[in-house]
Structure 1
Amino acid sequence: MSSALEDRTYLPEDDLDNQYGEMIQSLASAAAAEGDFQPRLVMGSKTIELPNEIAELLGQVAEAMQQGLAVTVAPKSRELSTQQAADLLGISRPTLVRLLEEGKIPFMKARRHRRVMLSDVLEFQKRQRHRADQALSDMVADAQAFGDYDDAYLSEAISGDPNSKH
């Protein structure tokens, strides 16, 4: 591709919302009827075989647009303002600035303004999720070790079925 990567937000048009859902359903039905589950992108006479991950992503994009949600596509090399990064992480801007100053997320300074790379914010988010998952696993292991953890109760909570005996 010779064109420069740029981020772009796609907004669904109100009259097209239902068409996205109908299009997805008809494509899925046609593929199932033919026994063909290889996702493809067809543009005129050109057909591109898609990996399942990309097909799933495109399905999520179409579903979001069907629900009237905007979809933004941005290269990982995109720079974000501190407010954009804070919004992405679901934290306040002052909290983000504290994380930047503590060195937990790399940043650049353009005059007085801090800028962060989208890839760095996503990496921080991934690390935080991993830490949270590990902390939860440790808590469950500790509770099991002390006999305070009821496996039957957990099965019920996960399945939503009070009669579940998993």
Structure 2
Amino acid sequence: MKMDMLVNLYARPLEGLAARVAGLAAQGITIRRALPPEMHLLQDWVATHFSAYWVSELTVAMAHQPPGCWIAVENGALVGFACHDATARGFFGPTGVSADHRGKGIGLGLLYHTLMAMRAQGHAYAIIGSVGPADFYAQTVGAMPIPADDAGIYQGLLRRPETTA
């Protein structure tokens, strides 16, 4: 079962990430806030690499002013994204990096820039909903599990029926 985690946006682990993500530029990777005219490209990319659910969340994040979406670009191509304030205010995610770009620190860079943007907008804490890699978030930003029963924000989410061949 996936859990939610809480990140203190003023904690030391977060402050220490700036130096770790600075090296991405030397690899030719730029992380920046997404622009509204790029939304259709982002939606297509997220649908191809991840899921329709994440396209929905991305669309909401892009509707904010400024957009609540950060992207990683290499040689003019999208290689990753991270959103905030999509499903609920104060939530980080969804986030993803293309399979062939994982392990290069891009996810860490997206996490850092997105959490810093949340802090700049007045959030003191961020919630990472339905966490996949809990150890990653605990080790990099000091995220802590939020005690809860099964009633999370995604409880009762409509899903497409499974098809059988």
Work out whether the TM-score is over 0.5. Answer: no
Structure with larger RCO (C-alpha < 8 A, sep 6+):
2
Rg (Cα) greater in structure: 1
Q: Comparing both structures, which one devotes a greater share of its residues to strand?
A: 2
TM-score, with length taken from structure 1:
0.25
Q: Comparing both structures, which one devotes a greater share of its residues to helix?
A: 1
